[in-house]
Structure 1
Amino acid sequence: MKYISALLLIIVCLAKAYANENAGHQAFAQQDYQSALTHYQSAYQQNPLASTLYNIAVCQFKLGQWQNAQTSFKQIKQQSGESDLINYNIAVTYKKLGNTERATELFENLVLFGENEQIVQLAGRQLDQLEFAEFDQQLNEQTAQAENSYPAWYLSTQLALGSDDNAVAISTERSSNKSDSLVEALVSAGYIGEQQTQQFWSINALLLKSKYQNNSDYDFSVMGLGAIKHFTFAGINQADNNDYFYAAANFEALSIAGNSYLNNTRLTLGYYYPLNTLQVIKVESQYKKSSAASSEYHYLAGDAWQHRVSWQLGDYNNRFKVTLDYTIDDRNDLTTEDSFTSYSANRHSIKLDKNVQLNHWLLNFSAQYKVSNYHDKHLYSDGSELLRKDNKLSLSQRTEYNLNNNWQLFLDVNWADNNSNSSTYSYQQTLLMFGVSFDL
C-alpha cells in the first residue's frame, strides 16, 4: 500500500508539472513572459527536466533578468553538457551584464570551434557589434573630451623614403623603365569649426613634394586648399539615421620637375546615408576644371565629371568598402602637324578596400580595376590609327604601427599593371614607401 501511495503521488506531481508546463507554453505564446516564468518554475519544482529549465532561462532572458538567465543556462550546461546554443546564450548574458571581455572570448570560441553553422554566424555578428560598440564608445569619449576645444586646429605630417622600379611620367602616362629612389614629404593642416556630424565644416591646406634622387624630371609637387560643409534639408534628411549632404571645394596647383604644370578646381556634392550602425552608403558627384599653368601642357587642360557610389561595412579600423566610379574626362588633347594623341576618355572602375585593426597595428588592403576607353583615335605620323583602350589593375597594402596617439610608422607597397592596346602605354610599376607620420 505504501508503494501504491508513492506511485500515486508521483503521478499527481507529473500531472501538475504537465499542466504548469502547458500553461507556461500558452502564456509564452501570448508574450506574457512573467506568467510563463511562474508556470515553468512550478513545473520544474514538480519535475526538474532540462527542457523546462531551458524555458525558464528563455523567459528570464526575455524579461531582462540577465544574471538569473545566465545562472539557468550554466545549470543546463552542467546537466546536459556542451552545446553551441547554450554557450551562445551564456555569451549574450555576459554582454548584457557589461562583461564584454568575457562575452568576446566566448563568441570567439564559438566562431573558431562551433559546429552549428547558424550559431557560428550569429556569434560572428555579435563580435562585429562588440567591436563597433567599443569604437563608438571611444569616439563618444573623444568627442566629449573635444567639445570644450572646438573650434580646433589640426596638423598632420608625413615623411617617407621610397623605391620606384619604373617611374611613370604623369604628363604623358608613359613609363621610363628607370629605377630610382625618392623622398616624399606631406604636410596638411586645417581648422574644424563645428564638431556636430550634420553641421560639420572645415577648411584645410596641404603640401606634397616627391623628389627623385637621379631623375628630377619625375619630381612632383601639389599645393592645395579646400573646404567642406555638411548640411541637411528639412523633409529629406532622416534625423534618426544621421544622414547628411555635403559640399566641398578644392584648388590644387601641380608642378613637375620644379615647373608649374596644371591648376585644378574641384567642386563636389555628396550624400552620406547610414543603413544601420554598421553599413553606410555614400553617393558623390564631382566636377573638375583643369587649366594649364604652362602652354606646354595645354593638351591636358579640360573638364571632367566623376560619379561615385561606395558601400562600407564596419567602422574605419575594421571596415570593408566597395567603390564604383565612372568618370567622363574631356581634355584638349595633343594635335601636331602630322599626329594626334587623345587624352580624353570615359573611365569606370571598381575598388575594394579592407582595413583590419590588430592592437597597435592597422592593415589596409586595396585592389582597383579600371577601364579607360578613349574618345578619339590616335593618329601617328606614318598615317596609322589606333583607338586606345587601357585596363589597369592596382594593388596596394599599407601597414601602420601606432607608437602612441601622435606618432605612427608605416610601410606602403603599391603595384600597378597597365595593359594597353598601345604598347607605348603598357607598363608595370612597383613603388615601396617607408616612413613616419605625426598627427596633432
Structure 2
Amino acid sequence: MTLVHAPPLVIWPHPRKKRTHPTLKNTHSNLLAQCSCTRIGCSTGVYRRQPTTHGVYGTIGTFIYCLGRCDKIRCCPQVIDCASYNALHIPHLTAHSYASISPRLSFMTDSSSPRLPLELIRPIMERVEDRRALYLLSFTCRLFQYDAERLLYAAVIDLDFNHEEPLRQESFLRSINGAERLGPLVKIYSVVSIFSRDHAVRWNLLRSALKKMINLKILHFGEQNRKPAGDLILHAPFQLKKLSWHSENDDEIMRIILHQQKDLRVLHLMCKERTKPYDVATCPNLNSLVGNRHTISAFLPGRAVVNLSWLPDFSTSDPGSIKGMEMEFSRIKVLSLGGYLSRPSLMLIAHVLQSVEVLQLVAWAQEEECAIKNLPSLRELVLSTQWREANATRSRHRELVMGLFRDSRTLERVDVSYVGESTYDRWIRGSSRAKICSSFEVLGRFCF
C-alpha cells in the first residue's frame, strides 16, 4: 500500500495591499506556489490551483481559479488542504468567474489530488490557536464549518467589548442569538465586563444568549457593580460544573440559583457578613470552594470540600475562629491562603490540617515555618509573593527550602515566586538547584 503525504494546515500572514483583483490574485498565487496545497481561502475569495500548460497570475504550470467570495472583513489568507473532499466534481471555471461561498462551495473538490480523511483534518484543526484563523476557516467550506465553529465557540474566555477581534463580546452574543446551532457549542464562557453606555442592550443580549447555551459547564461572571445580576442565570437551561460569580447584592437570588445547580463542583463566591449558612442539600457535589471568611462559614459545614482557597477581603479583616468546622478543615487536601490583602495566619488552622497535601501561602511569614514542618501530610508547598514583598531574595528562600526538606518527612517539592517575575523556582527534594516553572503549571491545582 502506498502512503500519500497530504499537505498540512498552514496559517499565512497577508501583506497589506489594495483590494484590486489582480493584486490579490497575484498575492494568492504566490502563496500557492510556495506550498503543496491545492486551495487558498481568505476573506476576499477562495482560489484553486491545478496543473496546466500556461501560467496565469502564478508560476509556470499553475492556473488559478477564483471560486468565490467570503464576507467583507480584513483579508487574512488560510492555506488549506481542501483537496481531501473530492466527493463531487467542480465544473470548469474561468479565472474571472465568481460563485457564492455558501451551499455551492460547501464541497470544494479536486479529483486529481489525494484524499485526506476528515479524521486527520480534525486533529490538524485542533492545533490552530488563533481565533481569527478558526473564524475564517468556518467560512471556507461546509465540511470545515462544523469543526471550526465547534473549536471557536467551545471556550469563549478572552473576549472583551473593546477588543477588536471578529468575535468581540457583543458580536459573539449577537451570533449566539442569531444562530440556533451555535449556543449548544459553548462549554466555557467568561464575562469580564458589560458596563458601558449600551449597558441595557448588552445586558439583554447576554440574558438571551445564556438561555441558548444549554451545554455550558463553566461560567465566570466578573462584572462588579451594585446592580444585582443573578436573574441572568435564574432557571438556566444548563447544569454547571464550575461557577465563578463576582457580582454583588445577589445573596437571596443566589440561594435559588445554587439550589438548581445540582452538578456544581467548583464555586467561587464572595459572601457578606449577613449571609446565612446554606443548606447541605444545595450543591450536594461541591468539592472545591473559593471565597472569603463568610463564604467558608456559609458553605463548608456539612460538606466534603477537599480544595479550598481562602481569599481575604475588606469585609473580613478579622478571620475569626473556625470553631465548629474542625472536621471539615481536616478533610481538605489542597489549600490556598491569601490574596491581594493580608491573609489569616496559618497558625489559626494548622492544628486541624491533617490531610493537606498541597499548600499555597501568599506572603509567607517567618513564624509559620514551624507550622509548615508539622503538617503531617504535606507534599507540595507553594510560596507566592505579594505585591509588597520586595525584600524576598533567592538566597533567603534557598536556606528556608533546605531547612523545610530537612525537618519535614513528607515534603517533596517547594515552589517559590518573586516580585516582578511571572515564573516560579521549583525545588525538588534531593536537588541542588531549582528549575523554572510557569505560573500556570504551579497554580493550576488551586481554584481561583
TM-score (norm 2): 0.26
Q: Which is bigger in relative contact order (C-alpha 8 A, separation at least 6)?
A: 1
Q: Higher Cα Rg: structure 1 or 2? A: 1
Higher fraction of helix:
1
